Amino acid sequence: MFKLSAICLAFSAFLAASVNAELSDVEAVETIQKLQSRDRQERLKAVQKLDQSIPTAKVDDALTVLVEQLKIENDQAIKFWIISIIPSISVKSDNTAPAILKTRTIPALVEAFEDSNSRSMQLTAALALQRLGLSLQNQVDSLSLEQLEQAISDLDQVYTVLNVAEPDIGKKPASNISAAQKVLRTEYNSRLIKRITDFLQKNPWIQGAVILAILYSATLWLRPQWLLLLPTDIKLSWLMPIELPIAVVRFLKYRPRVLDAWVAARVQPVRDRFAQKRTVSDRQIHFFLIPVELDNKKHKLTPEDLKSHFARAVIRVLIYGQGGTGKTSVACQIANWVMTSNEAERLCNHLMAPVLIEGELSSEKSLKEAIRQELKSLTNEKELIPEELVVRLLVERRILVIIDHFSELSSETQAEIQAGIESLPVNAFVITSRNEESLKDFTKTHLKPCSLNAELLSSFIGEYLTQLDKRSLYPDDLFLRACAHLKEIAGQRELTVLLAKLYAEQMIFTKKNGTDQDLPTSISSIILSYLNELNQTRNRKKSQFSNSDVRRDAKIIAWKCLKKTFQPSSAKLNDILEALREIDDTRDFKERLDYLGENHLGIVQQQDPEEHIRFVLDPIAEYLAALYLIDLNSADEWENLLNRIDDSRQSIDPIRDFLLALRDCCLAKKTETEIPEFVLERLDQVLAQR
């Protein structure tokens, strides 16, 4: 095959030598025109004549026609001649490399190579492409940047074709083409850099902007939190005659990657401190046992149930239901899911920092300030988090705001919360409330923890005891009897998770200290037994306060927290201390209050502002307040109380739980205390109304 090609090329040279030295321009034009003749002999003679006798001025025209004829030529002999003479004609041009590119010679040869089944034709085409590649390499300096780009593209195509050809045809040419590619790419990169450099030198402000963009991108990728150090007003007069608008600075400063880095750097202390909150730690065990209604389906809540809701641009979740159903427990578990390191469980594709708001707000303490103070505590920062950063975290859903006991907060605080949610805005929040109508102006996801029927009751208590490793205390028959006993004492009242939990703890306590015959006989006795247990198990002061002391003080505080609205809320610290002092001034009343607080029994907590106290668990406050009224058992007090209740009939639902607790306590204590008959009658009348 190599011999055949050599013979052909030699014969071509012989024919060229036999013709006159060089064609005139007129003869060249006529010869070029004959390339397109229908007569085969004329086309063949024209090709042979052009090989060595084409004048330099007509090379580009000749190449153009040769390339076009190559695409349409059906005669294999003529096609072979065209392929063989193209390299020798192209070198006669004053600008060989540009001429090759201008006439699109290389793509035409590649197409001829691919279309041919003849090894001799393919070999000739491969050698021709190799020569053209070397011509481009040798004349690289004569090419413009755009021509270099085209040449690199053409040679990429050549290398791809030759690299997959048979080795004896394409291996060596492909290697030479690869070398030419490297030379062209090196020159192209050098020229491109120089063009950019020259442009930047002529436009120094653009050069500065490019440098800043590179620095910004590197910082955003490697050290995103450093961008938070950017000042709000960036003046670039030293670099360019402009000042960046505040909106642009905020965009650069608070990118999602920056906010994610800020949260990620603090999420571990947030997890630790959030878990240490008494509101959270007291509810860690029993969340997974709570049945929840979502989308009209009752089931145990999992992350998968909420992921679609947390994928929204604005996350609004309302957890509603009567006191003690586990609303706060569900909210706390949602908080754990948004900051978990387990991406499979996490509700969003980014971490969030949960902020729990439990207390009253005021004109001096807005929702934004409450969030900043709580975030400072959770992150263990020395100073308040900058206001602008907190707002961006709220807007971009990197903070999950949890408002607990919303329905029990004052109307002023409720209004402040709603205004704050809209104005900041807070784009991710969870609210617990006794009322489904809370935040009626917002579209939200509704979660409703369910009460426990007989089946769920035994399942809940059984699993709760199992988690505490106490299920073995009760054989199956005694266990079922104990569950039935709770259902019996609850009567027609729905059983909540809280009551079931307290009862389960009493089941454990009575087994350790007596028999199952000592189980509570009423809901009010469950509450009182719970206080007794706390006093015995958490009494760090070795019986300094008796069970009766604890019950008495707790009842007083409970009534102070409900007296104003008949709903569990906060009471002023001074009012509580004065009430404690009036009952017993022989002991330090501040110490007595502290003993009931978070550092000891943990049934009450101070709230911001710190001059307020409220119960941790609302149903306990309701029952203790009811027991306080029964202890007073004054006909005048009963009359005043019932008259106030009658006056609030238009809004009976918010106080229904307290009225039920009061009725339960009256029924439980009627054999011990002579309660006026009209009390139960009036309560039944009120409760019968919807």
Work out the average pLDDT over 535-548: 72
Per DSSP, the residues of 174-212 read: HHHHHHHHHHHHHHHHHHHHHHHHHHHHH-HHHHHHHHH
Of the listed ranges 131-135, 193-197, 232-236, 451-455, the least confidently predicted one is: 232-236
Dihedral over alpha carbons 432, 437, 439, 443 (to 10 degrees): 100
Of the listed ranges 101-105, 148-152, 164-168, 433-437, the least confidently predicted one is: 433-437
Confidence (pLDDT) at 460: 87
- pLDDT per position as a tens digit, 655-673: 888 998 999 999 888 888 8
Confidence (pLDDT) at 19: 43
Report the distance separating Cα 127 and Cα 130, nearest Å.
Answer: 5
Confidence (pLDDT) at 263: 95
* SS3 annotation, 16-71: HHHCCCCCCHHHHHHHHHHCCCCCHHHHHHHHHHHHHHCCHHHHHHHHHHHHHHHH
Output 574 or 25, whichever has higher pLDDT. Answer: 574
Confidence (pLDDT) at 650: 57
**Which of 5-19, 109-123, 258-272 ranks highest by mean pLDDT?**
258-272
- pLDDT per position as a tens digit, 625-655: 999 999 888 888 888 888 888 876 556 778 8
Work out the average pLDDT over 606-619: 79
Confidence (pLDDT) at 63: 82
- Label residue 16 by pLDDT band (50, 70, 90): very low
Work out the average pLDDT over 63-76: 84
- pLDDT per position as a tens digit, 303-357: 999 999 999 999 999 999 888 888 998 999 999 999 999 999 999 999 999 999 9
- Label residue 5 by pLDDT band (50, 70, 90): very low
Share of the chain above pLDDT 90, in %: 23
Share of the chain above pLDDT 70, in %: 87
Of the listed ranges 63-67, 466-470, 623-627, 678-682, the least confidently predicted one is: 63-67
What lies within 8 Å, CB to CB, of 310 at 6+ separation is 338, 347, 348, 428
- Label residue 390 by pLDDT band (50, 70, 90): very high
Confidence (pLDDT) at 22: 66
* SS3 annotation, 518-534: HCCCCHHHHHHHHHHHH
- pLDDT per position as a tens digit, 546-585: 888 899 999 999 999 999 888 888 888 888 988 888 887 6
Report the distance separating Cα 162 and Cα 168, nearest Å.
Answer: 10
- pLDDT per position as a tens digit, 158-175: 899 888 888 888 889 999
* Confidence check: pLDDT of 600 > 80: yes
Work out the average pLDDT over 597-617: 81
**Which of 79-93, 281-295, 337-351, 505-519 ranks highest by mean pLDDT?**
337-351
- pLDDT per position as a tens digit, 425-471: 999 999 999 887 666 667 788 999 888 877 788 888 898 898 889 88
**Nearest CA among 547, 683, 554 for reference residue 627:** 554
* Confidence check: pLDDT of 472 > 70: yes
What lies within 8 Å, CB to CB, of 513 at 6+ separation is none
Give the tokens for residue 100: 């090759």
Work out the average pLDDT over 144-154: 90
Confidence (pLDDT) at 182: 93
Confidence (pLDDT) at 14: 40
Confidence (pLDDT) at 6: 40
Of the listed ranges 216-230, 349-363, 405-419, the least confidently predicted one is: 216-230
Q: Which residues pair with 297 in a beta bridge?
A: 294
- Label residue 277 by pLDDT band (50, 70, 90): confident
Phi and psi at residue 57, to the nearest 5°: -65, -20
Work out the average pLDDT over 538-547: 67
Confidence (pLDDT) at 20: 44
Of the listed ranges 136-150, 162-176, 221-235, the least confidently predicted one is: 221-235
Q: Which of the 8 DSSP states describes residue 540? A: T
- Tell me the average pLDDT of the chain: 83
Confidence (pLDDT) at 391: 93
Confidence (pLDDT) at 18: 44
